[in-house]
Structure 1
Amino acid sequence: MTDTQTLIENRPPSVATLFLERVAATPDHEAYRYPVPSAAGRGPDDWKVLSWADAARRVYAVAAGLISLGVRPEERVALASSTRVEWILTDLGVLCSGAATTTVYPSTNADETAFILADSGSRVLIAEDAGQLAKAREKRAELPELSHVVVIEEAGAQSAEGDPEDWVLSLAELEKRGAAYLEKHPECVKEQVAALRADQLATLIYTSGTTGRPKGVRLPHDCWAYMARAIQATGLVTEDDVQYLWLPLAHVFGKVLTAGQISVGHVIAVDGRVDKIIENLPVVRPTYMAAVPRIFEKVYNGVVAKAREGGAAKYKIFQWAAGVAREYAKASQDNFRRTGNASVPFALGAKHKIADALVYAKLREAFGGRLRAAVSGSAALAPEIGYFFAGAGIHILEGYGLTESSAASFVNPGEAYRTGTVGKPLPGTEVRIAEDGEVLLRGPGIMEGYHGLPEKTAEVLESDGWFHTGDIGELSPDGYLRITDRKKDLIKTSGGKYIAPAEVEGQFKAVCPFVSNVLVHGANRNFCTALIALDEPTIMGWAAEHGLKGRTYAEVVGAEQTRELIDGYVERVNEGLQRWQRIRKFRLLPRDLDIEHGEVTPSLKIKRPVVERAFKDLLEEMYEGAREA
């Protein structure tokens, strides 16, 4: 048996067990960094540190506090908060109490929050602030099983007026109760953890459905213990790494990273404020981070815009350097695939060295200067953007997984990564491609099923354990997977041709530095159209230099000059497409797609049916009186 097999097959029953083992092994090592506002309230944040022993004291107090409130094994405790260190500590507290965490995005409205709390049967809600508390209070009559709300921010708990039943308490108060309970029952948390079974429910994560109510995905403790050990077994992360974590922890991608960290023992710097990413990177100086493609696209667009603002000469240098980066990345990856050596021809290497001094080094500094690797998941990254970053020395390892597979089913293997693929399956995960091209998965990371929905479970989970992902993909002879599209998103035109919209959208994002979101439409139509939302900072910078200074975003988007600019990029993309794939018409949206309108998920994936409904008039307008082209 290999070391990898031993590590995975001898895994403990739960991440809670792993946490206790980690605390015992390295109590004084740094576990978490988190920001607090500077004393003056101005300037950059101060960053505080928690050791594993510090974290354990708080986790034990939360766990004992929940036990003192009467929470029992496998009962649900909901967590509605943005990404912050308290999210991790309270989640671990829930697991160490024997209960199960129900994750709720803080952006979820009151109606859907109430549905999730009721459907999950959550006994306690841990709410970030007064705003999250207000949602529960508004729907309290619909939540008879919800016995307490714990508010992370003290001010939010103090805003609870008229609370004669002690329904609301602060996190500090819960921890105080837990500390008192531990004095009387000092072994209670360790006993609960020791009693955990691998098949007990650990987490309920509700998928953000594009139609109808979201479904609760039941993930037992073994899913997370397996993921933690499998991530460690890949060797992609070591105990010396510093990971910057900003992803939403209510999403399975963010949560699986916390499991891997406990098994490996590295540092996590945690701050979910997306608007602070650029400011935080030079402070945190991460060696490893994970993100969704939209973040890399925004960075790329920002770099292009900055080069353009520097004048014609600077922009020309950037374009040359970008071309060299892509050529270098493709050459080095191709050579590594053939020979195991990433060397490139001498002339290309010389050009790359010059481009590095002029462009790439500054880009790496913007990421903190120490980034070994970045993992991208949740959606496809346009290969041309991936090649650009790879050639610039920022290695983006694409991965793949779903909520139903505990997130991390595939990841690219270190220096053998291949841009445009999601890599190889994690040790212990099996994959096969069905006759219709659908990717099927089997392994310890696969969900138990959908909560209270046996018929929905049976639709995707076969009796022998194979899970139908709903994604279409291709496997290379040596096991690298390429995802081509969602099965349900494939477009069949009225002429009978199949089109993968994500492929066309990815190509457009790679050539157009002004795009924020793009949706290609054409199901049962005689040609393809596109709805295009522009990145506001980038397009407004361009507008100021092209006679549109002082105009609003909507006015800039509506200007003929802007339409002509984007039309040029559409034509560039069309040149490389088959006739039936080409975008014949497009419309620029008056605003970007966003979470508030329900058009993108919290992990920034487009909800196609929602967008198509919201902009139905624009779509119909493009097809009015149209004939077969």
Structure 2
Amino acid sequence: MSRYASRATLPHCLLHWAETSPNRVYMTQPMPGGRTLEITWAQAADQALRLAAYIKGLDLPPRSSIALLGRNSAHWIIADLAIWYAGHITVPLYPTLNGETAVYILEHAEAKAIILGKLDGIADGWKDIAPVLPAELPTISLPLSPRADVPQYDDIIATTEPLADVQLPDADQMSTIVYTSGSTGRPKGVMHSFGTMCSVAQALRDTYKVNQDDRMLSYLPLAHVAERAVLETASLYFGFSVFFADKLETFQQDLQRAQPTIFFSVPRLWTKFYLAINEKLPLKKQKVLFNLPLLGKLVKKKVLTQLGLDKCRLAITASAPLPPNILQWYRGLGLELLDVYGMTENYGYSHGSRPGEVRVGYVGHANPGVEQRIAENGEVQVKSPGQMMGYYKDPAKTAEDMTDDGFLKTGDRGEIDPQGRLRITGRVKELFKTSKGKYVAPVPIENKLNVHQKVEVICVTGPSQPQPFALFMLSLDAQAELAKGHLSKDTLTQEFTDLLAGVNATLEDHEKLDYVVVVKDQWTMENGFLTPTMKIKRNIIEDRYLSHADEWLGQRKKVVWE
């Protein structure tokens, strides 16, 4: 039996698989020139221990915070483990942060060093971050890092002996500080222990039967707990293979290489897949072909193969609801999308839909070991094995977000059905009041509107207005088509008018939207309108647009172009 068979922490897990499956490939990393780098479990452990020995040699104070900045890569995960083997705490930074927020996190976390990973200044915020990084901060460059003037990973691995005296952590020790993306205000540092990080394994084993033969593609940010829980933690705990996406242009190729058996994504991408297939094979034609006895199965298989999901047995969606028609479409293909729900504060370990027990619009049952309840104000409250240790340097905020009996106040409103499945109905603080004194919950309306292939992001707003209205941000493809004359504003105006009428027919009178505004700017993570998990920052958007509401109302149009 392996000396590390307990898999009590992620550092235990890596050594366990290095001992029991040394030559099995753990990670496959795309490299420049179209080649790929395969890293076995034994190699991953060896490199992590060599990097750990180098970090130890920096003579940092015990339990120092070390920042980890970079897009997803095999070396990001190895660096995460090396920091732990060296006895320190990982502080992952979103690669899309602006310079101001990056500096705030480094200072707040009191980072004593930084490890730079895959960055290019095109798909990330490196150009904004680079000029403001403290010059005195000890820096290490991983492969694919933009810095060649600091100690390099390959040199460190080639010249440093592996750490000999490995002190493995206890489950209750702090492992990481994860800074929330924050839809309002400064990001908060959420402290997690090694034990809370491994808590997610129970549901993955018992409910989803995750095992060593599974495969995943990593592309959602590892700096966020969702990817860190479902991919990093799960792969280390269960010993399955991980493939990495190179860039947006090669995503389909990377997906085909991975042939994932588990695919974890967000509604935005599930919707893009759906719309892309519909452009090639219109829904009317699909309906005919899918219903043909023998041919229907072949066509469905071909669609899944084209998406790179024909081997997928577990399809997970999270962060926001998917429209029911898209969920049903995937189910018709033979892919049952399972909604999961969690927060940074409980390491994403809260709720999940179970195979065969999905109820559309619900995020599923409480995971094993999780307690759930609805407070008097409609707020969902959760007590989870993945519960945080608290907010770093902010005991007052920790006390504010926890109940006296240890439940986390999620800030989400919800309801629980007789089978125990949870439905999220909006945010407690997102309700706004119109000038008629009526309260409106924007999220359910946004979900109803989110079905047009040319619209990327939607925000329903209208506090102090007679009726709510919606802001539409067009997709980059739609903007390009308009600029080239391949698409007309008149066509979109009519389509948006019809969409508005259809949605309004399903709403209460006080919820009906007066009009839609097509905004001219792109909302991005870089300009602060979206969080790194692609959620809208409602307060930022409202600060930018609400001052124009009276003018738009005065135009008496159903669709206004900014």
TM-score > 0.5 by shorter chain = yes
The corresponding residue for 1:170 is 152
1:370-409 CA-to-partner distances (Å, cap 9, x unmatched) read 1212211122222222121122222211100011110132
Instruction: Out of 71-80 and 128-137, give the one that drifted further.
Output: 128-137
Which of 235, 253, 260 aligns to 1:286? It is: 260
The corresponding residue for 1:524 is 464
Instruction: Out of 252-261 and 149-158, give the one that drifted further.
Output: 149-158
Which of 224, 227, 230 aligns to 2:197? It is: 224
The corresponding residue for 1:66 is 55
The corresponding residue for 1:417 is 358
After superposition, the Cα gap between the structure-2 partners of 1:11 and 1:520, relative to the gap in structure 1 and judged at 3 Å, is: farther
After superposition, the Cα gap between the structure-2 partners of 1:204 and 1:522, relative to the gap in structure 1 and judged at 3 Å, is: same
Deviation at 1:351, TM superposition (A): 5.9
The corresponding residue for 1:366 is 307
Q: How does 1:436-585 map to 2 (within 5 A)?
A: 436-510=377-451, 512-537=452-477, 550-551=484-485, 559-585=489-515
State the distance in 2 between where 1:451 and 1:494 align: 40
After superposition, the Cα gap between the structure-2 partners of 1:388 and 1:237, relative to the gap in structure 1 and judged at 3 Å, is: same
State the distance in 2 between where 1:263 and 1:105 align: 24
Deviation at 1:278, TM superposition (A): 2.1
Identity of aligned residues (%): 28
Paired letter, 1:157: R
After superposition, the Cα gap between the structure-2 partners of 1:319 and 1:101, relative to the gap in structure 1 and judged at 3 Å, is: same
Paired letter, 1:524: S
Paired letter, 1:550: K
Deviation at 1:91, TM superposition (A): 0.6
Contact 1:157–1:169 (CA under 8 A) maintained in structure 2? no
* 1:377 pairs with 2:321: no
* 1:23 pairs with 2:13: no
After superposition, the Cα gap between the structure-2 partners of 1:53 and 1:415, relative to the gap in structure 1 and judged at 3 Å, is: farther
Q: Report SS of the residue matched to 1:485.
A: strand
The corresponding residue for 2:172 is 199
Q: Report SS of the residue matched to 1:615.
A: helix
Which of 241, 248, 260 aligns to 1:267? It is: 241
1:411-466 CA-to-partner distances (Å, cap 9, x unmatched) read 11123333322112221121111112111111220111111111111110134321
Paired letter, 2:142: I
Deviation at 1:354, TM superposition (A): 5.6
1:14-70 CA-to-partner distances (Å, cap 9, x unmatched) read 2212222232222222211111233xxxxxx33332111111111111111111112
Contact 2:181–2:533 (CA under 8 A) maintained in structure 1? no
Aligned residues: 547
After superposition, the Cα gap between the structure-2 partners of 1:170 and 1:620, relative to the gap in structure 1 and judged at 3 Å, is: farther
Which of 114, 118, 125 aligns to 1:125? It is: 114
* 1:316 pairs with 2:257: no
Contact 1:223–1:446 (CA under 8 A) maintained in structure 2? yes
Contact 1:300–1:513 (CA under 8 A) maintained in structure 2? no
After superposition, the Cα gap between the structure-2 partners of 1:260 and 1:294, relative to the gap in structure 1 and judged at 3 Å, is: same
The corresponding residue for 1:5 is none
* 1:34 pairs with 2:38: no
Deviation at 1:272, TM superposition (A): 5.7
State the distance in 2 between where 1:481 and 1:29 align: 39
1:296-345 CA-to-partner distances (Å, cap 9, x unmatched) read 111222223334xxxxxx55324667xx8xxxxxxxxxxxxxxxxxxxxx
The corresponding residue for 1:329 is none
The corresponding residue for 1:608 is 538
Provide the aligned C-alpha RMSD in A. Answer: 2.7
Contact 1:238–1:264 (CA under 8 A) maintained in structure 2? yes
* 1:187 pairs with 2:164: yes
1:530-582 CA-to-partner distances (Å, cap 9, x unmatched) read 001122325756x6xxxxx8339xxx57x233212211111122222222222
Gaps spanning 5+ residues in structure 1: where?
1-9, 39-44, 161-167, 308-313, 325-349, 544-548
State the distance in 1 between where 2:327 and 2:373 align: 26
TM-score, length-scaled by structure 2: 0.90
The corresponding residue for 1:115 is 104
Instruction: Out of 418-427 and 440-449, give the one that drifted further.
Output: 418-427
Paired letter, 2:503: V
Contact 1:301–1:538 (CA under 8 A) maintained in structure 2? no
After superposition, the Cα gap between the structure-2 partners of 1:94 and 1:474, relative to the gap in structure 1 and judged at 3 Å, is: same
Contact 2:183–2:536 (CA under 8 A) maintained in structure 1? no
Which of 82, 99, 105 aligns to 1:93? It is: 82
Higher helix share: 1
Q: Report SS of the residue matched to 2:484.
A: coil
After superposition, the Cα gap between the structure-2 partners of 1:154 and 1:504, relative to the gap in structure 1 and judged at 3 Å, is: closer
Paired letter, 1:296: W
Contact 2:342–2:350 (CA under 8 A) maintained in structure 1? yes
Q: Report SS of the residue matched to 1:583.
A: coil
Paired letter, 1:63: A
The corresponding residue for 2:560 is none
After superposition, the Cα gap between the structure-2 partners of 1:364 and 1:613, relative to the gap in structure 1 and judged at 3 Å, is: farther
Q: Report SS of the residue matched to 1:268.
A: strand
After superposition, the Cα gap between the structure-2 partners of 1:87 and 1:155, relative to the gap in structure 1 and judged at 3 Å, is: closer
Paired letter, 2:511: Q
1:269-314 CA-to-partner distances (Å, cap 9, x unmatched) read 122634432232222211111111111111222223334xxxxxx5
After superposition, the Cα gap between the structure-2 partners of 1:306 and 1:592, relative to the gap in structure 1 and judged at 3 Å, is: farther
Q: Report SS of the residue matched to 2:531.
A: coil
Paired letter, 1:535: S
State the distance in 2 between where 1:388 and 1:539 align: 27
Q: Report SS of the residue matched to 1:569.
A: helix
After superposition, the Cα gap between the structure-2 partners of 1:68 and 1:306, relative to the gap in structure 1 and judged at 3 Å, is: same
State the distance in 1 between where 2:447 and 2:69 align: 33
Deviation at 1:173, TM superposition (A): 3.4
The corresponding residue for 1:7 is none
Q: Report SS of the residue matched to 1:376.
A: strand
TM-score, length-scaled by structure 1: 0.81
Which of 268, 277, 291 aligns to 2:251? It is: 277
Instruction: Out of 358-367 and 453-462, give the one that drifted further.
Output: 358-367
Which of 124, 129, 141 aligns to 1:151? It is: 141
Contact 1:529–1:622 (CA under 8 A) maintained in structure 2? no
Paired letter, 1:174: I
After superposition, the Cα gap between the structure-2 partners of 1:581 and 1:502, relative to the gap in structure 1 and judged at 3 Å, is: same
Deviation at 1:219, TM superposition (A): 0.9
Instruction: Out of 351-360 and 389-398, give the one that drifted further.
Output: 351-360
Contact 2:349–2:367 (CA under 8 A) maintained in structure 1? yes
Contact 1:154–1:171 (CA under 8 A) maintained in structure 2? no
State the distance in 1 between where 2:213 and 2:262 align: 10
Instruction: Out of 102-111 and 18-27, give the one that drifted further.
Output: 18-27
Paired letter, 2:419: D
State the distance in 1 between where 2:401 and 2:553 align: 35
Contact 2:179–2:189 (CA under 8 A) maintained in structure 1? yes
The corresponding residue for 1:332 is none
State the distance in 2 between where 1:233 and 1:64 align: 37
Contact 1:127–1:133 (CA under 8 A) maintained in structure 2? no
Contact 1:245–1:272 (CA under 8 A) maintained in structure 2? no
